[in-house]
């Protein structure tokens, strides 16, 4: 039985984002010990927005295919499961590789399990570079074979 796992914490962007958040916290230090009220307001705003960003950053997702179900887990720092949602393979009818156009940079490729009534399970996304396209196509075909769902091919998202 093949098992596929896609974790956000294994992507370099997640770690770079954490470093950027730490640097933003360090950079904002002068805002929390101000001489003027205006700077205190900016400090409160700065750290409130930073705290909100840290909450989203600290809860990356993990998607997996277990052989009989597609599972999405929200993990605290990528280690401790906080929320789990499981959907059986029977809830989906096909695997699709969807292209989402980007204004700047390469497009984004999504490997999706599509069900009836517009339900979808986004398994993995990657930039549409030459290597990224080949890896996503391979993943979509392997996921289709392992799940028994047909691979519908690549679709260009109209918006």
pLDDT in tens, 76-130: 988 899 999 998 988 889 999 888 888 887 888 888 888 888 888 888 888 888 8
Given a cut of 70, whether residue 144 has pLDDT beyond it is yes
Q: Partners of 127 in the beta sheet?
A: 108
pLDDT tier for residue 39 given thresholds of 50, 70 and 90: low
Check residue 41 and give its pLDDT. Answer: 72
List all residues 6 or more positions away from 63 whose beta carbon is below 8 Å from its beta carbon: 5, 6, 70, 71, 72, 73, 121, 122, 123, 124
pLDDT in tens, 41-65: 777 888 899 999 999 999 998 898 8
Given a cut of 90, whether residue 34 has pLDDT beyond it is no
Residues 136-145, mean pLDDT to the nearest whole number: 87
Check residue 59 and give its pLDDT. Answer: 93
Check residue 50 and give its pLDDT. Answer: 93
Q: What are the boundaries of each domain within the chain?
A: 13-57, 64-156
Element (H, E) at 23: helix 12-27
Q: CATH says 64-156 is which class?
A: mainly beta
Check residue 18 and give its pLDDT. Answer: 92
Written as six digits, the tokens of 55 are 């909450």
Taking a C-beta distance cutoff of 8 angstroms, is the pair 63, 6 a contact?
Answer: yes
Given a cut of 80, whether residue 36 has pLDDT beyond it is no
């Amino acid at each position: 039985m093949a098992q596929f796992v896609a974790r956000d914490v294994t992507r370099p962007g997640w770690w770079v984002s954490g470093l950027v958040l730490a640097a933003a916290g360090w950079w904002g230090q002068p805002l929390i010990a101000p001489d003027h009220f205006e700077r205190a307001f900016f400090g409160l705003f700065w750290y409130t927005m930073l705290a909100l960003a840290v909450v989203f950053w600290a809860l990356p997702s993990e998607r997996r295919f277990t052989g009989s179900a597609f599972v999405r887990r929200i993990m605290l720092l990528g280690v401790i499961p906080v929320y789990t949602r499981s959907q059986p393979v029977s809830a989906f009818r096909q695997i699709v590789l969807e292209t989402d156009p980007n204004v700047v940079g390469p497009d984004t490729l999504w490997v999706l399990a599509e069900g009836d009534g517009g339900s979808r399970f986004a398994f993995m996304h990657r930039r549409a570079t030459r290597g990224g396209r080949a890896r996503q196509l391979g993943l979509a075909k392997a996921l289709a074979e392992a799940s028994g769902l047909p691979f519908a091919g690549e679709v260009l998202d109209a918006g």
